[in-house]
Structure 1
Amino acid sequence: MEKRRRGKFVLIFGVVLLLAFALWFYLMSGQHKTKPPPPAEPVAAVAVKLQDVPVYIDALGTVTPTRSVTVVSQVDGILSSVEFKEGQHVSKGQVIARIDDRSLKAQLAVAKGTLAHDQAVLSNNQRDLTRFRELIKVGSTSQQTLDTQASLVQQQQGTVAADQGNVQNLEVQLSYCTILSPIDGVVGLRLVDPGNYVTNGSTTGIAVITQMTPATVVFAVPEDDLGSINQALARGTVTVLAYDRNKHNLLATGNLLALDNQVDISTGTIKVKAQFDDSGNALFPNQFVNARLKADTLSQAPVVPTTAIQHGSKGDFLFVVNGDKASLRNIKTGPAQGDVTAILDNGVKSGEQVITEGGDKLDDGSTVKVVAQ
Structure 2
Amino acid sequence: MGNLNDTAPVIDQLRIDRTQQSPRPRSHRTWWIAGIALVAAGGAAAGFTWMKQEAQPTKLTAAAPAPAAAPAAAGRLPDAALEASGYVVANRQATVAAKIIGRLETVQFEEGQHVKAGQVLATLDDTNAVAALKQAQAQLELARLSLKGKEAQWEISKRLLERQKELLASGWVSRNAVDNIAASAEAQFNEAMVARGQLAVSAASVNAAQRVVDDTVVRAPFDGVVTVKAAQPGEIISPSSGGGGFTRTGICTLVDMGSLEVNVDVSENFINRITEGQSATITLNAYRDWQIPAEVIAVVPTADRNKATVGVRLALKEKDPRVLPQMGVNVRFLSMPATGGIAGAATGGIRLAVRGQGAGGRAVGTATAR
User: So what's the TM-score if we normalise by structure 2?
Assistant: 0.62
In the alignment, the residues of structure 1 paired with residue 158 and residue 286 of structure 2 have an alpha-carbon distance, to the nearest angstrom, of 90
Corresponding residue of 2:215 = 176
Aligned to 2:311: 271
Kindly indicate whether residue 249 of structure 2 is the aligned counterpart of residue 229 of structure 1.
no
Secondary structure of the 1:213 match is helix
* Cα contact 1:214–1:277 (8 A) shared by 2: no
1:186 aligns with 2:206: no
Quote the residue 1:86 is aligned against: 111
| Distance in 2 separating the partners of 1:122 and 1:277 | 65
Contact 2:278 2:336 in 1 (8 A): no
Question: What does residue range 18-33 of structure 1 map to in structure 2 within 5 Å?
Answer: none
2:129 to 97, 104, 125: 104
1:209 aligned partner = 254
Once the two structures are aligned, what percentage of the paired residues are identical?
A: 22
- How far residue 211 of structure 1 moved from its aligned partner, in angstroms, is 1.7
Distance, in Å, in 2 between the alignment partners of 1:251 and 1:49 is 25
Match of 1:157 in 2: 196
Which string of whole-angstrom CA distances, capped at 9 and with x for unpartnered residues, describes residues 285-311 of structure 1?
222211222341369968xxxxxxx99
Is the 1:241–1:250 Cα contact (8 Å) retained in structure 2? Answer: no
Query: CA–CA distance in 2 between the matches of 1:200 and 1:214?
Result: 26
The residue type paired with residue 195 of structure 2 is Q
Distance in 1 between the 2:239 and 2:272 partners? 49
Q: Residue 97 of structure 1 contacts residue 179 of structure 1 at CA under 8 Å; is this kept in 2?
A: yes
1:218 is matched with which residue?
Answer: 263
Question: Which segments of 5 or more consecutive residues in structure 1 lack a partner in the other structure?
Answer: 1-47, 303-309, 316-330, 335-343, 346-373
Q: Secondary structure at the match of 1:256?
A: strand
Residues of 1 paired with 2:102 and 2:356: CA distance?
A: 74
Q: CA RMSD in A?
A: 3.4
Q: CA deviation at 1:136?
A: 2.6
Offset of residue 224 of structure 1: 4.1
Query: Matched residue of 2:229: which SS?
Result: coil
1:1-20 aligned within 5 A: none
- Preserved contact between residue 251 and residue 282 of structure 1 (Cα < 8 Å): no
Report the Cα offset of residue 256 of structure 1: 1.5
SS at match of 2:249: coil
- The residue aligned with 1:67 is 92
Secondary structure at 2:263 match in 1: strand
- Gaps of at least 5 residues in structure 2 are 1-67, 73-77, 165-177, 243-247, 347-352, 359-363
Larger Rg: 2
**Alignment CA distance shift 1:257-1:311 (3 Å):** closer
Matched length: 264
* Residues 83 and 229 of structure 1: CA distance in aligned 2, closer, same or farther (over 3 Å): same
Distance across 1 between alignment mates of 2:155 and 2:249 = 58
Tell me the TM-score normalized by structure 1: 0.61
CA distance in 1, matches of 2:199, 2:71: 81
Number of the residue aligned with 1:125: 150
Q: Is the 8 A contact 2:354 2:366 kept in 1?
A: no
Q: Aligned equivalents of 1:138 and 1:291: distance in 2?
A: 93
In structure 2, the partner of 1:6 is: none
1:278 deviation in Å? 3.3
Q: What is the identity, as a one-letter code, of the residue corresponding to 2:197?
A: G
Write the deviation string for residues 191-239 of structure 1: whole angstroms up to 9, x where unpaired.
2221333334445322111222221111122334444434xx4xxx322
Displacement after TM superposition at 1:112 (Å): 1.0
Distance, in Å, in 1 between the alignment partners of 2:210 and 2:309 is 52
- Distance in 2, Cα, partners of 1:66 & 1:119: 51
One-letter amino acid matched to 1:211: D
CA distance in structure 1 between the aligned counterparts of 2:328 and 2:100, rounded to whole angstroms: 38
Assess, with a 3 A threshold, how the Cα gap between structure 1 residues 154 and 50 changes in structure 2: closer, same or farther: same
**Residue 350 (structure 1) aligns with:** none
Q: Which amino acid aligns with 1:106?
A: A
Segment of structure 1 superposing worse, 56-65 or 265-274: 265-274
Q: Distance in 2 between matches of 1:222 and 1:101?
A: 53
Structure 2 letter corresponding to 1:122:
L
Residues 231-310 of structure 1: pairs in structure 2 closer than 5 A: 233=276, 237-245=277-285, 248-250=288-290, 252-276=292-316, 278-297=318-337
SS at match of 1:219: strand
Name the SS for the 2:195 alignment partner.
helix
Shift of the 95–277 alpha-carbon distance from structure 1 to 2, 3 Å rule, reads: farther
Task: Decide whether aligned partners of structure 1 residues 254 and 153 sit closer, same or farther in structure 2, where only a CA change above 3 A counts.
Answer: farther
Distance 1:126 1:294, change over 3 A: farther
| Residues 78 and 262 of structure 1: CA distance in aligned 2, closer, same or farther (over 3 Å) | closer
| Partner amino acid, structure 1, of 2:129 | L
